[in-house]
Chain A
Amino acid sequence: MIGLPIYAVAFLLIALVAGNNVTVCVGTAIAGRIISRKAGIVIAAVGYTAGFLIGGGLLQWGVVQLLSASGQGFVFVAILVSALVFAAAHLLRVPQSFSIVLTMSLLGIDLADSGIPNLGFAVLVIGYWIGAMVVTAALVIALLRYSYRTLRDRSVWPTVSRIRITIIAVSFLASFTFGANTIGLAYATLSVESGNSAYLLATVIAAAIFGSIALSGGELRRIGNEIIALRYLNAAITQSVSVLIVGIATVFSIPISTAQTFTAGMYGASLSYKTRLVLKKPLVSIIATWTGTAIASLILSFAVTKLLLA
């Protein structure tokens, strides 16, 4: 059984993560003015909850592979480290990969304690993070080029209608896979310490809904100002591929964030044009942020665990 302070930290963390990722899940539909901001938030909240309830249990096996038995007592170190990193990301209003932060925190605990229980799986997870971005970009490029060739002779307006409906559908699916993978990861981590409980389940669901409603404002306001609005077809394909990659990872209990695949998809969409101007700086800065926070999470959780063990 975990105490109230830990519930509070977990609630805040999941709320921040959920709010931070509303942009990624439903941002393209909102930026394209297909749905309003309110409708987007509702889709995100419903998607998170449905994904978590239906697919959230798939990440439990993965968490067990990443956290040694004796490290279970330090799972709250991972939660606290992740909460600190995410609070900073929320203040800076940047998309952050919770999956990377929490996974590296768990590995940091293992390294300070008795070692990583399933090193092969840990390597697979990190390899999947890198490979997923490359595969996502490549798939988006290929699908967009194929679509450009085949859609030009189709009736424009019915095709655009179908694309817009697709964007709404994949926005829901993106929220769904986020709920299954990322929120599922958070729940699986917490339940290692506390066990499965109705209180924990209710806390996680409440946090996800609260976060999507109350903590997504900053990121959503940046849409259209700083985050480039994708064209309809680009948005549909980018989001679809992102959902597919995250869905596959979820089935194999691999934690991965929607932000990673979506960012890679956006760059793939830019590269699909014959004449293009693609800024490297934002991609470099995003990857640097994720890498930096991954290392920071690893070191911080390692240091705190060593301190507590001493």
Chain B
Amino acid sequence: MGLLDHLTGEVSEQAIFRRSSAIIRHAIKANSMLAETVKGDQKACGMAEAIAHEADRETFSIANSITEGGVAPNLIDDMMRFIDTENNIVDNLSTLSRALCRYKIKERPAAEFVNKRLLSAQSLIDESLKLLLKMHEADTVSAVRRLRARVKDNEKRDDQIKEALLDFAYESKVDYKTFYQITTVAYLSDDVMDGCEDAADMILSIMLSILT
């Protein structure tokens, strides 16, 4: 970026935040594919994977911008970890979709229990991703703090869903494949939500680093 661009255009770190919101938009799409997968749409599996590839390309492009452009050196590592965390959200959603497509729980009560919990988790993830989008566009540190607090609340509620799934897996009399499937999707879903929380923490941390 030339000197005049720096003086008159947007700050480089702001540009990175703006571009990385595209990764969150991919995550929102992947999450909606997840809901379709839970409801039984097999086509949604392939679509989630395609979205993940798109997100990988976007992440690579942003990473190049970070290292080549005008981001302050003391923020480069944090920015790289940040976009990596966001990309992992999309990857985990894709992996979760694949896991759901790979094996369908045959026992109806178990399937209904798991699907209901997954849809609740999916709803929390959707809300958190939209909060993350707002955080990307937030203008003040206090606004970012408020949004982050809501993401953290969602993460706590998602933990309860994970615990409920794990309790069910250990307490019910299901075969080993079903047991393994329930624990896998429970942890993958939790990883997605943890990724949202980590991304929220990083946005706040980076903003504080820039401003103070």
A221 lies within 8 A of chain B by Cβ: no
For chain B, the count of residues having a C-beta within 8 Å of the partner chain is: 23
Contact, CB under 8 Å: B7 / A165 = yes
Complex-state Cα separation, A233 to B209, whole angstroms: 10
Contact, CB under 8 Å: B141 / A229 = no
**What is the CB-to-nearest-CB distance from A147 to chain B, in angstroms, rounded to a whole number?**
8
Q: Say which residue of B70, B140, B141, B210 sits within 8 Å of A33 (CB atoms).
A: B70
For chain A, the count of residues having a C-beta within 8 Å of the partner chain is: 27
A153 lies within 8 A of chain B by Cβ: yes
**What is the CB-to-nearest-CB distance from B195 to chain A, in angstroms, rounded to a whole number?**
23
A31 lies within 8 A of chain B by Cβ: yes
Complex-state Cα separation, A154 to B141, whole angstroms: 8
| Nearest B residue (CB) for A147 | B212
**What is the CB-to-nearest-CB distance from B21 to chain A, in angstroms, rounded to a whole number?**
14
Contact, CB under 8 Å: B140 / A154 = yes
Q: Name A16-50 residues within 8 Å CB distance of B.
A: 31-36, 39
Which stretch (A121-129, A155-163, A282-290) binds chain B?
A155-163
A7 lies within 8 A of chain B by Cβ: no
Residues of chain B within 8 A of A35, CB atoms compared: 3, 6
Residues of chain B within 8 A of A147, CB atoms compared: 212
A306 lies within 8 A of chain B by Cβ: no
Contact, CB under 8 Å: B209 / A155 = no
A1 lies within 8 A of chain B by Cβ: no
| Nearest B residue (CB) for A36 | B3
Complex-state Cα separation, A156 to B137, whole angstroms: 11
Contact, CB under 8 Å: B6 / A229 = no
A90 lies within 8 A of chain B by Cβ: no
Contact, CB under 8 Å: A151 / B211 = yes
Contact, CB under 8 Å: B207 / A156 = yes
**What is the CB-to-nearest-CB distance from A239 to chain B, in angstroms, rounded to a whole number?**
15
B164 lies within 8 A of chain A by Cβ: no
B74 lies within 8 A of chain A by Cβ: yes
Contact, CB under 8 Å: B73 / A33 = yes
Contact, CB under 8 Å: B13 / A160 = yes
A224 lies within 8 A of chain B by Cβ: yes
Contact, CB under 8 Å: B10 / A157 = yes
Contact, CB under 8 Å: B7 / A32 = no
Residues of chain A within 8 A of B72, CB atoms compared: 32-33, 229, 231-232
B61 lies within 8 A of chain A by Cβ: no
**What is the CB-to-nearest-CB distance from B39 to chain A, in angstroms, rounded to a whole number?**
40
Residues of chain B within 8 A of A159, CB atoms compared: 211
Complex-state Cα separation, A159 to B10, whole angstroms: 11
Contact, CB under 8 Å: B6 / A34 = yes
Complex-state Cα separation, A64 to B130, whole angstroms: 70
Q: Contact residues of A with B, CB < 8 Å?
A: 31-36, 39, 147-148, 151-157, 159-161, 164-165, 168, 224, 229, 231-233
15 pairs of residues in contact across A and B, judged by CB atoms under 8 Å: A35-B3, A147-B212, A152-B142, A153-B141, A154-B140, A156-B210, A157-B14, A160-B11, A160-B13, A161-B11, A164-B6, A224-B73, A231-B74, A231-B212, A232-B72
Query: Which 3 pairs across A and B sit closest by C-beta, in order of nearness?
Result: A33-B70, A155-B139, A157-B14
Q: Contact residues of B with A, CB < 8 Å?
A: 3, 6-7, 10-14, 69-74, 139-142, 207, 209-212
14 more CB-based (< 8 A) A-B contacts, given A33-B73, A34-B70, A168-B3: A32-B72, A33-B12, A33-B70, A34-B6, A152-B140, A152-B211, A155-B140, A156-B211, A157-B10, A160-B210, A165-B7, A224-B73, A231-B72, A233-B211
